[in-house]
Amino acid sequence: MPFAYISQALAARRREGLLRQRVLVEHACARTITIAGKQYLNFASNDYLGLATKLEVDQLVHTEAGSRSSALVTGYLDVHHKLERKLCHTLGYEAALLFPSGFAANTSVLKALFTTQEKQSSAAVFQDKLNHASLIDGGLATDAKFVRFNHNDLTHLRSRLEKTKAEHKLVVTEGVFSMDGDTAPIVEISELAKSYNAWLMVDDAHAFGVVGENGLGTVDTGIKPEILVITFGKAMGCQGAAVLASQHVIDYMTQFNREFVYTTAISPIMASVALLQLEKLLQASQARDKLSGNIEYFKKLISATNLSPMPSDTAIQPLVYGSSENVLAVQSKLKQQGIWVGAIRPPTVPQNTARLRITITAEHSIEDIECLVSALAEVS
Ligand SMILES: Cc1ncc(COP(=O)(O)O)c(C=O)c1O
């Protein structure tokens, strides 16, 4: 029967406790979420600074709905240019390109970078094993040799770089790992990459806005990767992404990045919102301080329980429960106590490492965090 595998695949997911389902959210903010008429404390959002709130109507009143074409035809508007320039100025890059999502940015940049007339036997991409699906997919979609190194393991990366004969080498990592919450040793990775004449690409989706002295993520470490990706859907609280690089690389992307060339330029509404949100994010030092305090408080409380969180100092604080059944059972008990936390299961995370992905935000109060930790201690 045609496509019989669809029902088989769904049945297998159900049987293994791995079926993914959307929940219909009636209302949400960084602190609370309402689902099926019930309000929960929300520990499952990426709105780390609480910026994804309602906008004032007059902020968008003169904004047009659509860009009317791709950026290379007539879709590249003043607001896109302003947003790109603001990002370049803030992060210290020559040029930037906007994308409708971080997923599109990551996959397409990797595909374009290794898609030239030149034969690809001389290219290799080195990726951290825990890199986001979009980076993995992009790397696998090229003819460049795809090499994975153990998570944050500099010795392993060095040995991989040592062995390669490729001329064009790219090391790819994340500023903050989305499912583990730990940070990459960016300074050391950058030095290592340089010593092997490799370029560095960093996906700062979960770092931009929240990590570093000024909340700028990787560039706050003093490192400027050859390619930096930031996404607008996490701390910026809206949607879209930008790729920052030298003018030379952005010129190349403008020719060869198919997701950029063959798509409608992002809506001027989205670009205007991103510009507004970027301003808010840059001025959100109080929220960043509050977030740091909340993370520290969570870590202090959890360390006094018999639970073992993963080693993370960021807003992402996962607790591993092993099997999918275990994590779903804990998630469901937390719901009964009025707490919403995401349960992340394979294949998003490795087998036997199903986890609660707890995310702390600046909007949580001390009492919210106390409530979370005491519920976790009770139901785990
Ligand atoms: C590390 C990382 N990179 C990229 C993305 C994709 O970003 P976007 O949600 O804008 O597609 C995500 C989001 O899930 C992510 O966690």
pLDDT of residue 16: 87
DSSP state of 358: E
Whether ligand 1 lies within 6 angstroms of the CB of 204 is answered as no
Pick the CATH number of 19-48+315-379 from 3.20.20.210, 3.40.50.1000, 3.40.50.2000, 3.90.1150.10: 3.90.1150.10
- Per-residue tens of pLDDT for the chain, all 380 residues: 999 999 999 999 999 888 999 999 999 999 999 999 999 999 999 999 999 998 877 777 778 999 999 999 999 999 999 999 999 999 999 999 999 999 999 999 999 999 765 655 699 999 999 999 999 999 999 989 999 999 999 999 999 999 999 999 999 999 999 999 999 999 999 999 999 999 999 999 999 999 999 999 999 999 999 999 999 999 999 999 999 999 999 999 999 999 999 999 999 999 999 999 999 999 999 999 999 999 999 999 999 999 988 999 999 999 999 999 999 999 999 999 999 999 999 999 999 999 999 999 999 999 999 999 999 999 98
Q: Which long-range contacts (CB under 8 A, 24 or more apart) does 11-16 make?
A: 16/324
- Going by C-alpha positions, the residue among 53, 81, 86, 56 that lies closest to residue 67 is 81
Q: Which neighbouring-strand residues pair with 128?
A: 149
The structure tokens 């790729």 sit at 243
Catalytic residue status for 203: yes
Catalytic residue status for 374: no
Query: Cα dist. 318→116, 364, 380 in Å?
Result: 40, 17, 13
CATH architecture under which domain 59-280 falls:
3-Layer(aba) Sandwich (3.40)
Catalytic residue status for 190: no
Catalytic residue status for 178: yes
Tokens of residue 347, six digits: 């294949």
Q: What are phi and psi of 83, to 5 degrees?
A: -65, -45
Catalytic residue status for 352: no
Domain ranges, ordered by start, for the chain:
19-48+315-379, 59-280
Q: In sequence order, which residues have a C-beta less than 8 Å from that of residue 142 and are 6 or more positions away?
A: 110, 111, 113, 114, 115, 120, 123, 125
Which of 45, 107, 178 maximizes ligand 1 atoms within 8 Å of its Cβ, making it the mutation to test the pocket?
178
Spatial separation of the C-alpha atoms in residues 227 and 201, rounded to whole Å: 5
Burial of 36 (0-12, 13-18, 19+ CB in 10 A): exposed
Whether ligand 1 lies within 6 angstroms of the CB of 122 is answered as no
Whether ligand 1 lies within 6 angstroms of the CB of 229 is answered as no
Q: In sequence order, which residues have a C-beta less than 8 Å from that of residue 298 and are 6 or more positions away?
A: 317, 358, 360, 369, 372, 373
Burial of 168 (0-12, 13-18, 19+ CB in 10 A): middle
Whether ligand 1 lies within 6 angstroms of the CB of 363 is answered as no
Cβ 156 vs Cβ 197: under 8 Å: no
Atom of ligand 1 nearest to the CA of 174: 1
